[in-house]
Each structure stands twice: as C-alpha cells, then as structure tokens.
Chain A
Amino acid sequence: MTASDRTLAGVDWAALPSGFRERFVILFFTGTLFSSYFPSTTWYLAFYSLAHPGAGTIMVPGVVSDLSANLYSLPLFICFVTLFYALHPLLMKRRLGKAVLLDPDSALGVICREMAETAGLKRARFLITKDMLEQGANAFGLPFRRYIYLAGGMKVVAAKAPDLARAVVAHEIGHLRHGDVDLGFLGRAVIQAMAVVSVVTVSIVLAGYYSFLTGPLATRSFGYMWRAIVAGSMPLTQAIGYSWGWVQGYNFPLAFVVLSFLFFIVLTWGEYAALLRSRELYADITAARWVGPETVGRLFKNGGRTDRREWIRWAAALLRFHPHPTDRAKALLEPWRVVRPRLIEAFAAGFIGGTFYCYLSTYTADIRPNATGSGWLIHQAPPMRTAEEIQAAIAQDPLVLVGVMTVCLSWLLWLSILGSQNLRLASMGALRITGKLTVAMTSALLFGFFILGLSVGDRLNPVALYTAWNQWPIPGGIASLAVSNWTIFALIGGTSICVSLLAVGAVLCNFRIAGNKVMGPYFRGLLVSAWVILVLFGASFAWAISRFLATGDEGFLSLAKSGTIIPGLALILVATSLLFTFWRKRARCANDSTSTAANR
C-alpha cells in the first residue's frame, strides 16, 4: 500500500476505527427495528401484563392470562432465533458446497495468512471449495469458530491478480472484525423465526383452531399487529367512507390475513437487506484501509450488475444484500457520501416512526380501559376469530382497507429511510477522522433530529388530530367515528405527501430538493428540516386556531399552544446546527474540499 493509496481522496485510511462503536450503534438500531415489527407486540403486552396483573382478559377458551400467553410466545420466538443462529454455519456450508482447509503454503494461502496478520485476525479458518468457476468469499460462523469460505475460483484470482485476491480476503476479514457475522446471521435468524412463527400463526388463524396452546400465539402475536394497523388507519377510512358490499364477505378478510403476513415478511427482509448493504460498504472501507482504495475499487469495475433501467436498479436494490458496484465504488472514492449522516433523514425517520408509535399507543391505550381484549374497533364479545374480526371491521367500513394500504406504503417509505439511515450510521466511525468533537456533535444532532421527528410524528398525525377533534376516548365506539372529517382527510393527505416528498427527496434525490449546492450538506439538511417543521407546525397551528374560532372549543386552543413547544426545541437544534455548520466549515479537515475538488 503506497502513501498515495493511503491518502487517496484525502482520507487517511489507516486512521479509520476498529468498528466497535459502529457495532453498538447498529445493534441498537437493529434491535429497535426488529423489535418494532412482529415481536414488539408480544413484548409490549408481556410488560403490560406484568405491570397490570389481572388487567388482561382471557382470549381463548381455557384459563390463559395475558401474562402466560405472552410468556409462552416470547420464549418460543427466542428459541427459534437461537436455533436458526446456531445452525447457520451448517446451512451456509451446505449452501456453498463442500470445502477443504486452505493450504497455507499455496499462493492463496499465503495471501490469507498475510492479510490475517495485517488485520490481527487470529481465530478464523480459511476453507476453499472445489468450484473453480466461482469467485468470491463468504464469512460466517459462531463466536468460537469463524470461517472464511473461499470459492475455488479464488485460486485463479490469486494466480492472475494477487492484489485483487488480497482485497477480497481483506473485505471478508473486515466483516469478521466488525462483528457483521453475528449481526448478519442473528438478523437472518430473527427473520427466519418470524417466518416460522408467522406461518404457524396464520395457519391457526385460517384454520380457526384455538386451543390452550395455539390461541395465545395467534391472538397475542399476529392479531394485535394487524389490529394496530387497522385501528391506526380508521380515521382515513372514516373520512372517505362509503360502502363496497362485495368486500364484506368472509374470503376477503382471509386474504387480508395472508397478505398482512407476507407484507411483514417482505418488510423485515428489506430492512435486513438494508442492514447488510451498510455493512458491505463498511467492509469495503476497511479493506481499503489494508490494501488501498484503488485496489478495492478495481473489484467493482469488473463485476457490475447490468440492470437495464435506473429505477429497476433502485427498486431491486431494496431487497439486495449488496449495494450496486457503482455505488460501492462511489462510496469508496468519496467516503463522505457514506459517513456523512443526513439530519433530514434522521428527522424523517423519527417523524414516520412517531406517527406509527402514536397509532400503536393509541390502540393499546384504548384496549387498556376497555379490557375486553377486543379493542375499540370491534364491539363484539371475545373470543372471535381474527378473520371474523376483520370481516366485522370491513362490514362497518369497507374502506378500512384503503387506510391499511396507505399505512403500508408509509411503512415502506420508512423502511427505505431507515435503510439509508443504517447505512450512514454503520460508517459513522469514519467521521472520527475529523475529530472526536465533530463525531460527538454529529451524533448528538442526528439523535436530536430523530427524536424531534419522533415527537412531531407522535403529535401531528391523523390519529392525534382525530383524538383532539373527538375528545378521545369515544364512548359508544365506532359509531362516534362517523363524524365527517374532510379536514382530517386533508391533513392526512398533506402529511402523507410531506412524508413521501421527504423520503423520496432524501433517499432518491440526495437532497437536491434543498437546491443550493454551494451550501454544505449539513446546512442543506438543516434548511430542509426547518422548512418541514415550519410547514407542519404552521398547518397544525392554523388548523387548530381555525377550529377554535369555528367551535369555540378551548381544547383546540391548547392544542395550538402545545404546538409551540416542539418548534422551540427545533429552533435550539437549528441554532446548534448552524453553529456546528460554521464551525465545521472552518475546522473540518481538508478531506472534503480536497477530495471534492479532485473528484469534480
């Protein structure tokens, strides 16, 4: 590795961190993400049951309390996760084919040994498969035995281009050093466990077979999730509500159960793929530290995927485990694209997260006083089958499905934002090249914007507004929801458009919505955030005031007043960001300017 390699693009690659803090950040976010899907309902209700013994109701024939039901399904889930994780080396070996221990004295063996020494890797076994036509490598294994599986074709690579072989091995060692193996395969195990438990659950729901064992699983795990979605989307359906008779049959709800199940699997898989993509970029950067960015970059010149259209490339990339080679090369040569956290993304992620948190909390808050276990949506005595509940919901308003679809779309957008968020957080450690203070401030800002978005999303969303409008909780149930809500519908539409623009603008247009390229990315992100905050709170304030003037209800006045707290906090953050931006402009390392100029 030459000195010019080390400082290519103005980055001192040798100064990159070990990845410990990144692991922590990623674990934190992954935990948050995964727990926000399927298992969260179970966990939440388990904690709720512990806090309120006896508050829950029996959902199935037999004596099953909420607590025992949840304590039953949670260990089952954990058992599956553990099992799949423990079995992953066997499954990977089977998938990749038979392999033998790599001869340490062969050309490839020498390369592996050298790279392991360079990286300080001690406990890993290098194995090689027989397939000489395959080129590449895989890292996997349990903590006490890690493997780097080399495809047989790597011998050819070692013979024809030893430096590229070195880069491949360095990339895989990078995965091991960053803990990606545990992260990746534990995440995979979570999805596999989800799939298994969900299949069981859906089967139970479809079969309508509720027993002491199967009932809790179906009603506690899967059932609450869809109910939360349905509940959260009710205002929209009410706002545009009219009736479609044909969807009120029984088969439609059944199809909905299955589709919901598939949706959650795809959603989670997408997030998992986003996580892995982020780790690939970080492994690339680490490999560049050891063998030079130019060498690693050459790996991506030969292996480009050939998606015909840009939008296909983008869409397919959502579910792929590896970023597009073009993107990898770009990230390698312009690492700040990877390492620079986008404040607006943090805000957007928080905003959408806050909206859904509100949906969930509204729903779960409602079932607490209700204590029937069936929630506010369906006013029939439990127990009843999930499909029947859906049927009942649709019977009351068939356009509930429109709302569900809207929420699903928003979730997909959230997914793309969080994937991107992961990507940047994954490589945040590289920011340390600009100093600890910079990292601390950046992290604080990022987190601040996330929390800000969360707070805004929690307060300014259809459900929250509906709550204010109707003085929640509504006695009498769903009939009260039939209040005409075209205003709310407009707000929902506005919110959706805002969120969509935010997501699409942030993820696809790389913040070009902010326009001015002269400004630094922080400043542009800040500008967009400020505009979004202003628009959202402006709309909120105007709406609340107009309602107060129209109805004389002081509740709206207090709503308008409460809307001033978060913008106040936002202003503080904005001011901090400004200070940071100017400070950074003066003090930031020459990396950005030097390498930007070099790459223009």
Chain B
Amino acid sequence: MRSQTSQESPVDQLGAEFGALLIERVAPEEGGLYPEIIESYRESAAKGGKKAVEQPLALGVGEIVGIMSPLVYEAGKIVVGYMLNLAKDAAAPRILLWFKSRFSEPAPVELDLLKIDEIVAEVRDKMGKRGVEPVLNEKIAEAVRGLLQQSPPHDGK
C-alpha cells in the first residue's frame, strides 16, 4: 500500500492492507489498481462524496463495470475493527506484520473457527446494510473466511 497520512486511523490503515489481500481473491484483475482506487475512495469520502453532473459529449452511462475495491476495503475495516476489539491493546503493529506476512505467521489474536464465523457474519451483516448485492456480499464474506482460515493458530504471544 501507498504511504498513509498521519491522520489515518489504525482501522483505516489495516483495513486497506487487509483489503489489498482480499481483492486478490475477490477481483484479482483490480489488484494492481487497488491502491489508486482506495486513495480516490478516501478522497471522495473525505469530501462527502461527489455528485454526478452530466457533461456534454461525455459517455453518459454512469458505471460501466462494478468496482470491488471500495467494498473489500470496507470489509477489511470491519475485520480489523473486530480484531482490534479482541486484542484490546496495542495490537495494530502486530496485525500489520501479520498481514504483511500474508498470513504465513500465526495470528496476533486468537482466531478459532467460532470467532472467524462471527467475523464473517459481521462482515455479511454490515455489508448487507450498506446495500451490497447478496451475491457480491457472499463472495466477499467467503473470501474473508478463506483468508483468515489460512493462518496458523495463535501462538499465545
């Protein structure tokens, strides 16, 4: 991911990192563009969204292909928020390292199957409330489950 601003919260930063891993499972063709898309998404959100204005001689059809990156970024934030709640201490650097290792290292918090189910359910629920289509929602939720399950068990540190 691109360098983040100092004002960025750990949830935003870690959510973006998790999203970068998630996008490779959900929409791999967007992978290379993910950082740029998330940057635009954040800028747009900071400005309160941009109202579409019809321009002369534009194409005039709105969205041509669906962009998944903002969705997986939001899903990533939900996952990270849950994990930070679990850890209840300064776990952010360890979580970041865990993401950077692409889950090859043990999880920084204990993530048994029950917890993973809870995380997935939360992702499904919150994304559903955001109006994400059920098919896409399911795809993202299952991708989250797949990523979290590939990690070795928590080593208790």
Contact = CB atoms under 8 A, between A and B. Distances in A.
A132 interface: yes
Contact of B54 (A172, A299, A300, A321): A321
Contacts of B33: 132, 155-156, 159
A139 B39 CA distance: 26
B133 to A, nearest CB: 13
B61 A303 contact: yes
Interface in A89-103: 92, 95-96
Interface stretch (B62-70, B79-87, B102-110, B114-122): B62-70
Contact of B56 (A132, A133, A276): A276
B61 A138 contact: no
Interface string B19-41: 00000000101101100110111
A277 to B, nearest CB: 9
Which residue, B27, B50, B54, B57, has most C-beta atoms of chain A within 10 A? Answer: B57
A52 B153 CA distance: 99
B46 interface: no
Given A133-B40, A133-B70, A156-B37, A322 B65 contact: no
Contacts of A480: none
B1 to A, nearest CB: 15
B29 A160 contact: yes
Interface string B62-101: 1111010010000000000000000000000000000000
Interface in A120-142: 130-140
B135 interface: no
A131 B65 contact: no
Interface size class of B (residues with CB under 8 A): 20 to 34
A300 B61 contact: yes
Contacts of B57: 138-140, 172, 175, 180-181, 184, 276, 279, 321
A116 interface: no
Interface residues of A, number: 44
Contacts of B39: 132
Given A133-B40, A155-B36, A325-B61, 9 more contacts: A130-B40, A131-B44, A132-B37, A157-B65, A164-B64, A276-B56, A299-B64, A303-B63, A321-B60
Interface of B: 27, 29-30, 32-33, 36-37, 39-41, 44, 50, 53-65, 67, 70
17 contacts: A95-B55, A130-B36, A132-B36, A132-B40, A133-B37, A133-B40, A133-B50, A136-B58, A137-B59, A152-B36, A152-B40, A153-B67, A160-B27, A160-B65, A175-B57, A184-B56, A276-B56
